[in-house]
Amino acid sequence: MNINKLHEDYKASLRKERMWVRFYQLLILVLFFVIWEVASTLRWIDQLIFSSPSKIGHLFVEKVADYSLLYHSSYTLFETVLGFILGTLVGTILAAILWWSPFLSKVLDPYLVVLNSMPKVALGPILIVALGPGMSSIITMGALISVIISTIVIYTAFRTVDSNYLKVLQTFNASRTQMFKEAILPASFPTIISTLKVNVGLSWVGVIVGEFLVSSQGLGYLIIYGFQVFNFNLVLLSLLVIAVFATIMYQLVELLEKRLIKNE
Amino acid sequence: MSFLTVSKVHHTYFSSKTATEALQDINLTIEKGEFVSFIGPSGCGKTTLLSILAGLFPPTAGKVLIEEQDVFANADLSIGYMLQQDYLFPWRTIEENVTLGLKLLKVNKDESEKLASKLLADVGLPSIEKKYPRELSGGMRQRVALARTLAVDPKILLLDEPFSALDYQSKLKLEDLVHKLMKEYGKTAVLVTHDIGEAIAMSDRIFLFSAKPGRLYQTFEVPEEVRNLTPFEARANPMYSSLFQTIWKELESLEH
């Protein structure tokens, strides 16, 4: 028996499986676009509503050439990233305050439940009046949509950290700040990361709805504009761009996860 | 004045439905450098008493003094506390775990790292500083926890069944190690255990508690001859067996 050879075989079989997974993933992507194109050309589906990859492709080239796509997407991207960071950061800070004062957390509990159940996008009109129809109200919307759920989830993670870790720190005469820094926060990193992953999606919802309501720029604006002039090529192009950006953001969060969580 | 004095300690746990008396009128003293054990049936309050000694919470009534200072919320008093499980922080390296207490005391980093490698060598684990806890076995992790506890040079070591989760071989080895280090460093130690044999093999004196409510029932002196042996050797001594029988009978009488 040759252990080395068996190991090589095993590694080769892993490589082979990875290759096939990639192959099928690509196949689905290609088939999707091909079927879409064919269905559109042969008029199985309404070209006016569902457009076709080639038309969207042409529009893409056109919009890249006149810089308008870059202009609109950079607006939206900026708003989303800022809303996302603000939502998670404020959520974590609020969770820390609740952890700090168990009394306050008991007092605020029903309010958190109400705020969480309320559809935040319904606040849009009020935000626009209060903050003006511009970027700040859109960013606020992107943050608002994720902040309460982040607070609740992260606070729950803080509370469920094994109290024996705190006992160890207490015998070292650690202050509450030190306990938070040394045990509570690092033990909750996995939860914070999964909150980040959820928030990527949520902040896109907030920002796009915000742009539907107010703005004169951004991908949300392109969608609503395309809808109003019945240009569904534009709507679908914007959607595809959003999908690409959202995926990239998600991948970045996963990268952060690998750097932050070393003990797995 | 003794090194540690427990006087008239009562403790009651309150919940919205019940008030459970865990400890009733506990009085005892422990001398510097002594190794004592608390044994007794479940519910006798031995772990409660240990937590009170550690200053984790104040007793409902009574006082616990170490060198005439109150133990509760006393930042000047350093106490070493070892739990049933190691509770090493999984996101910190072994070295960072051992130096945790020193970091909180704001001891210089080079100095604490030097101390960490000395302590790790003392507990029989040289050159594992950069590893993570998950890479070690249960016995090794408990040794690291011991090094972490010793790093802050505590006045007293409180051991809450630290050997009970280990396999038998690791348990015997760790008992010998703790016993040896306590003598070398001249530390005072209190061990809470279910294991009569462990209590006899390791300690100088044994406090037997009765349950519901927890009361100090009897104190046993371990004979000089057994005390001077390592825990492993002590188990083979004839006097060990006779003391074991005595305590066993007392414990049986408490449970019936």
**Band of residue A31 on the pLDDT scale cut at 50, 70, 90:** very high
pLDDT above 90 (res B137): no
Share of chain B above pLDDT 70, in %: 100
**Same domain? A144 vs A233:** yes
Chain A nearest C-alpha distance from B3 (Å): 19
Q: Which residues of B touch A171 (CB under 8 A)?
A: 54-56, 79-81
Task: Check A172 against B90: CB less than 8 A apart.
Answer: no
**Same domain? A135 vs A249:** yes
Q: Which domain holds residue A171?
A: 54-260
Give the per-residue SS3 of chain B: CCCEEEEEEEEEEECCCCEEEEEEEEEEEECCCCEEEEECCCCCCHHHHHHHHCCCCCCCEEEEEECCEECCCCCCCCEEEECCCCCCCCCCCHHHHHCHHHHHCCCCHHHHHHHHHHHHHHCCCCCCCCCCHHHCCHHHHHHHHHHHHHHCCCCEEEEECCCCCCCHHHHHHHHHHHHHHHHHHCCEEEEECCCHHHHHHHCCEEEEEECCCEEEEEEEECCHHHHCCCHHHHCCCHHHHHHHHHHHHHHHHHHC
Average pLDDT over residues A32-58: 90
Ordered by start, the domain boundaries in chain B are: 4-77+157-255, 85-154
d(CA B14, CA A41): 76
**Distances from the Cα of A25 to the Cα of A122, A203, A230, angstroms:** 38, 27, 33
**Comparing A262 with A120, which gets the higher pLDDT?**
A120
DSSP designation for A217: S
What CATH number is attached to the domain comprising A176?
Answer: 1.10.3720.10
How many folded domains does chain A comprise? 2
Average pLDDT over residues A11-37: 94
User: What is the per-residue pLDDT for A262?
Assistant: 65
Q: Which residues of B touch A172 (CB under 8 A)?
A: 78, 100-101, 104-105, 152
State the ipTM, two decimals. 0.85
Instruction: Check CB contact of B71 with chain A, cutoff 8 Å.
Output: no
Task: Check B89 against A182: CB less than 8 A apart.
Answer: yes
**Same domain? A100 vs A131:** yes
Query: Residue B91 is nearest to which of A164, A169, A263, comparing CB atoms?
Result: A263
Please give the structure tokens belonging to residue A14.
């892993």
**Same domain? A63 vs A22:** no
Q: What is the pLDDT of residues A139-183, one digit of tens each?
A: 999 999 999 999 999 999 999 999 999 988 988 888 889 999 999
Residues β-bridged to residue B157? B80, B189
Average pLDDT over residues B155-164: 89
**Same domain? A19 vs A61:** no
pLDDT above 60 (res A264): no
pLDDT above 90 (res B191): yes
**Same domain? A91 vs A214:** yes
Element (H, E) at A239: helix A232-260
Instruction: Check CB contact of B139 with chain A, cutoff 8 Å.
Output: no
Task: State the Cα angle at B52 between B49 and B57, rounded to 5°.
Answer: 140
Query: Residue A171 is nearest to which of B81, B91, B105, comparing CB atoms?
Result: B81
Q: What is the pLDDT of residues B49-64, one digit of tens each?
A: 999 988 888 999 988 8
d(CA B13, CA A219): 60
pLDDT above 90 (res B183): no
Chain A nearest C-alpha distance from B196 (Å): 26
**Same domain? A127 vs A84:** yes
**What top-level class would CATH report for the domain B4-77+157-255?**
alpha beta
**Same domain? A72 vs A41:** no
User: What is the per-residue pLDDT for B106?
Assistant: 84
Chain A nearest C-alpha distance from B215 (Å): 25
**Band of residue A89 on the pLDDT scale cut at 50, 70, 90:** very high
pLDDT above 90 (res A14): yes
User: What is the per-residue pLDDT for A263?
Assistant: 54
Report CA A190 to chain centroid distance, whole Å: 16
Average pLDDT over residues A29-43: 92
User: What is the per-residue pLDDT for A214?
Assistant: 82
